């Protein structure tokens, strides 16, 4: 199958800006996308730069954007991504490009370091003993432990795109690995840090991270689990927790979301600086006619919605 590979090239020594270069390649049957990139380098242009190592979906090195979205190329069959006999390859997003398909991963790793990615337990234990864990407890962290740090989730994260301080889905997924580890003794301290701005509550639920994840880590699910931990352990003094609580109270009470109350309750009824900060946004919404109605129109099946919330509140 003859295919055109449009590869984004950039050499800081010679290029003022990135450009696309096309390569015609006869794709072997059963070839992975990484196989094709290797063939381009080995037979067509030896100057092409990219990362690779294990070729077995273990090291995470070969992630890049394929037709606009991050993929692990060694795990992707070339035939599955050919569109109109063309494949577009670009470097991962949300990171500075060093050369061609190679990006600077330093910010990515710095955020992982911020979540203290190791087990904290000062209880004395003999060197010839292990810190045992039941299969049930390990199941709580099993998914997060499959993360191979390929940065595919980080590349396509919409929150990271607009807020470079956001920890990112990879770091948060790694954080869940320790927050929910029954052998770790610092869950409370971890949740205090993760509940601050740029942490678990800044995720916008776009789902791109889990969609692009090549393993079972699925960062969005891990972030959701940590939000539940935060609420259950009393980490409520932040906009995210207040927003979640206000959301549930509004729908549980009336069967619908009161969008006029939600912003106020999210920042805190007595948080004057926070209320002053959102006031200009409210004024602009009123002037442009975008503000929610004071009295909502009737919505079907509201009693059923209220009953669902009531069922969750009642003890089993």
Q: Residues 134, 211: one domain? A: yes
Q: How many residues does the chain have?
A: 316
Domain boundary among 189, 217, 232: 232
Q: Residues 180, 278: one domain? A: no
Q: Residues 206, 268: one domain? A: no
Q: How many domains would you assign to the chain?
A: 3
Mean residue pLDDT of the chain comes to 93
pLDDT at 57 over 60: yes
Q: For 171-225, what is each residue's pLDDT tens digit?
A: 999 999 999 999 999 999 999 999 998 999 999 999 999 999 999 999 999 999 9
The answer to which of 21-25, 56-60, 82-86, 295-299 has the lowest mean pLDDT is 295-299
Domain boundary among 210, 232, 254: 232
Q: Residues 247, 192: one domain? A: no
Residue pair 198/171 in contact (Cβ under 8 Å)? The answer is no
Tell me how far apart the alpha carbons of residues 94 and 219 are, in angstroms, rounded to a whole number: 17
Q: Residues 82, 110: one domain? A: no
Residue pair 78/36 in contact (Cβ under 8 Å)? The answer is yes
Quote the domain boundaries for residue 190.
106-232
What local confidence, expressed as pLDDT, does residue 275 receive? 85
Q: Residues 113, 220: one domain? A: yes
Average pLDDT on 67-77 reads 98
pLDDT at 278 over 60: yes
- CATH number of the domain at 227, please: 1.10.1060.10
pLDDT at 314 over 80: no
Record the pTM: 0.88
pLDDT at 237 over 80: yes
């Amino acid at each position: 199958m003859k295919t055109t590979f449009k590869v984004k090239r950039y050499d800081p020594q010679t290029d003022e800006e990135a450009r696309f270069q096309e390569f015609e390649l006869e794709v072997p049957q059963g070839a992975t996308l990484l196989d094709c990139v290797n063939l381009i380098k080995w037979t067509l242009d030896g100057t092409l730069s990219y990362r690779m190592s294990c070729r077995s979906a273990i090291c995470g090195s070969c992630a890049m954007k394929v037709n606009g979205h991050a993929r692990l190329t060694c795990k992707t069959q070339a035939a599955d991504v050919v569109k109109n006999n063309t494949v577009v390859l670009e470097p991962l997003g949300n990171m500075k490009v060093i050369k061609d398909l190679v990006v600077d991963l330093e910010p990515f790793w710095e955020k992982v370091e911020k979540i203290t990615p190791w087990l904290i337990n000062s209880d004395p234990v003999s060197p010839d003993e292990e810190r045992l864990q039941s299969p049930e407890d390990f199941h709580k962290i099993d998914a997060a432990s499959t993360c191979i740090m390929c940065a595919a989730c980080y590349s396509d994260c919409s929150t990271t795109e607009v807020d470079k301080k956001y920890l990112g889905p990879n770091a948060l997924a790694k954080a869940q690995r320790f927050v929910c580890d029954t052998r770790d003794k610092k869950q409370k301290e971890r949740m205090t840090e993760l509940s601050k701005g740029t942490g678990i509550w800044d995720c916008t639920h776009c789902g791109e991270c889990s969609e692009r994840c090549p393993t079972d880590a699925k960062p969005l699910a891990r972030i959701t689990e940590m939000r539940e931990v935060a609420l259950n352990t009393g980490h409520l003094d932040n906009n995210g927790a207040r927003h979640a609580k206000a959301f549930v109270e509004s729908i549980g009470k009336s069967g619908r979301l009161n969008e006029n109350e939600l912003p106020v309750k999210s920042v805190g009824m007595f948080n004057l600086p926070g209320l002053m900060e959102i006031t200009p946004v409210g004024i602009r919404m009123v002037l442009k006619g975008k503000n929610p109605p004071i009295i909502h129109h009737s919505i079907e099946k509201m009693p059923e919605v209220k009953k669902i919330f009531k069922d969750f509140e009642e003890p089993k």
